[in-house]
Amino acid sequence: MVRTKAFRAQVLLRLGSRGAASATWNSRTQLPSFLTFAPVRRAAAALGLRIEHWLYADADETDLEACQANWRPAVRQLAHEPSSVPSVAASVAAFNRHVLPMERAHRTRGKYLTHRRTVLTWAVWKGVLPQLLPMSDDLLRAFLWDALAFETSLAVLRQAINAILAWHERLHLAPPLSGKRSHKRLLHSLSRFQGVPRRHIFPIYAGAVKRLLAEAGRPPPAHPACPGLRGGCRVCTETLHARRDCLAGATATLICSRCAEMADLQVCDLWLRFDEQAGYERFKGGAAVNVKVRKNDQFRQGHQPRLGVPRRPEYDVVKLLQRFMRDAGLAVHPACAKRTHPEKRCSLCPPLFPRSSRCSRALVSDRPPTSGDLSGMIVAGLHRAGYDTALFSGISARRGGLSTAIEAGVPEHILWMQSGHAQDVAARRYVQLGSPALLYNTWAAFRL
């Protein structure tokens, strides 16, 4: 705190009285950092530097990202007037604004923007703004050393380095650390003294999935004069929450899902009788889950992991999900067009796992939950099933799903069709199965 205060004061001194007025601080960074580019602009102007092109802000979602794959109308909005011929410069500018930022995910862009501002703040403090870019290896080391004084962790330093490299790439400048293995060696030297044992996070294995499902099927305790599950009585609300949490944990594990993908699921993404309708009688009672876009699914093909029918009826996740939807009043809208446009977010249907309202504990069905909400549900579900939640987090579901499937020998390229995990192999795009039987192997691995 003392150090941060002193640092800020020294920066303000550098900026002079007029520049100092433009300085606002980001209160959420470990290293002192301006909240905007304004003070950097001031400092550059005072030095006669032309660095405006360094100061791009690309953290907002582009219109093409925000359109949720409804890209045709979005592009129509952005395209030039048909009656005019735009200059090359105008087309390039539009491309750079609307398409170029998407080479990185929008959350990554936000983090990198913060790191760029931190580095610029440091450069003002250090008095090296004119020499900052392209950054020499020495300047990078100086930055890292000064950052360490603020007890910055390896994870943050590593991200700062990546942000600096991406910055150079974007500006077509020669990046630091271009020497052979110098990036790797630098990270080695930084991790040597910072290696801390990570918090161990357990996967949700088949046993826990069974307990979650059993818990999700438990009826509410008998209580008289109750209008029923949707009546909003305290006991019933509690039961609905318990079912949602347990089902979120079990479903996420069975389909090897990330929390963000779960948060994106709507009731119309549960495709009942999917394979049955295609003529596969043996999968009667099962369902496909439509995962619109997964992190490594760069081509937006989507994934449809399957939920099968168990031998023991109490583990029937498809039935339990249907019952939860019914009790919670979450129904597929009659005009829903999800099956014809599986890649789009549906504007008519509620989320499959709605978050709870902060004040009334009612389920919020007109807005999607966040991935943080989902992580909370999964952990809460495990708690309800009797587990020590200190050992689990939202990621436990995906880990449990993948490890259970791998242990049961599900081939990796089939697993990928369900989970979209990393290690991209181009050939996977062309895998077309004659039967969905292999897709049910992940489900079968849980032996429910």
| Residues at the contact surface with Zn ion, assessed by CB under 5 A | 226, 233, 235-236, 268, 336, 338, 346, 349
Between 83 and 340, whose beta carbon lies closer to Zn ion? 340
Question: What does the DSSP assignment read for 55-69?
Answer: -----SPPHHHHTTT
Q: Which is nearer to Zn ion, 195 or 227 (CB)?
A: 227
Side-chain-side CA neighbours of 342 within 13 Å: the count stands at 15
Residue 226 CB, nearest approach to Zn ion (Å): 3
Nearest approach in angstroms of CB 251 to Zn ion is: 18
Nearer to Zn ion, 188 or 230 (CB): 230
**CA dist list (Å): 108 to 102, 205, 208:** 10, 31, 33
Phi/psi for 51 (5° steps) reads -125, 20
Half-sphere exposure of 183 (CA within 13 A, CB side): 11
CA atoms of 406 and 225, how far apart (whole Å): 49
Residue (210 or 243) nearer to Zn ion, CB: 243
Report CA 65 to chain centroid distance, whole Å: 14
**Rounded CA separation 261/263 (Å):** 5
Q: How many CA atoms lie within 13 A of 308 on its CB side?
A: 20
Minimum CB distance to Zn ion smaller for 349 or for 415 = 349
Provide the minimum distance between the beta carbon of 231 and Zn ion in the complex, in angstroms, as a whole number: 6
- Cβ of residue 228: shortest distance to Zn ion, in angstroms? 7
In sequence order, what DSSP letters do the residues of 75-120 get, joined into one string? HHHHSPPTTS---HHHHHHHHHHHTGGGGS-HHHHHHHHHHHHHHH
Smallest gap, in angstroms, from Cβ of residue 296 to Zn ion? 25
Q: What are the two backbone dihedrals, phi and then psi, of residue 17, each rounded to the nearest 5 degrees? A: -65, -40
Closer to Zn ion by CB, 23 or 349: give it.
349
Closer residue to Zn ion (CB): 209 or 268: 268
As measured in angstroms, the least distance from the Cβ of 170 to Zn ion is: 38
Q: Report the nearest approach of Zn ion to the CB of residue 71 (Å).
A: 19
Question: Omega of the bond prior to 134 within 30 degrees of 0, cis?
Answer: yes
- Shortest Å, Cβ 322 to Zn ion: 15
Nearer to Zn ion, 89 or 222 (CB): 222
> Counting beta carbons within 10 angstroms of the beta carbon of residue 84, is it exposed (0 to 12), middle (13 to 18) or buried (19 or more)?
exposed
The sign one gets for the Cα dihedral 182, 295, 264, 256 is negative
Give the span between the Cα atoms of 36 and 436, in whole angstroms: 52
- Closer to Zn ion by CB, 236 or 255: give it: 236
Q: How far is CA 21 from the centre of its chain?
A: 36
Do 338 and 268 touch, CB atoms closer than 8 A? yes
Give whichever of 35 and 348 is closer to Zn ion, judged by the CB atom. Answer: 348
In whole angstroms, the minimum distance from the beta carbon of 225 to Zn ion comes to 9
Beta bridge partners of 289: 270
Asked if residues 113 and 170 have their Cβ atoms less than 8 Å apart, the reply is no
Q: How far is the CB of 335 from Zn ion (least distance, A)?
A: 8
Q: For residues 252 and 262, is the Cβ–Cβ distance under 8 A?
A: yes
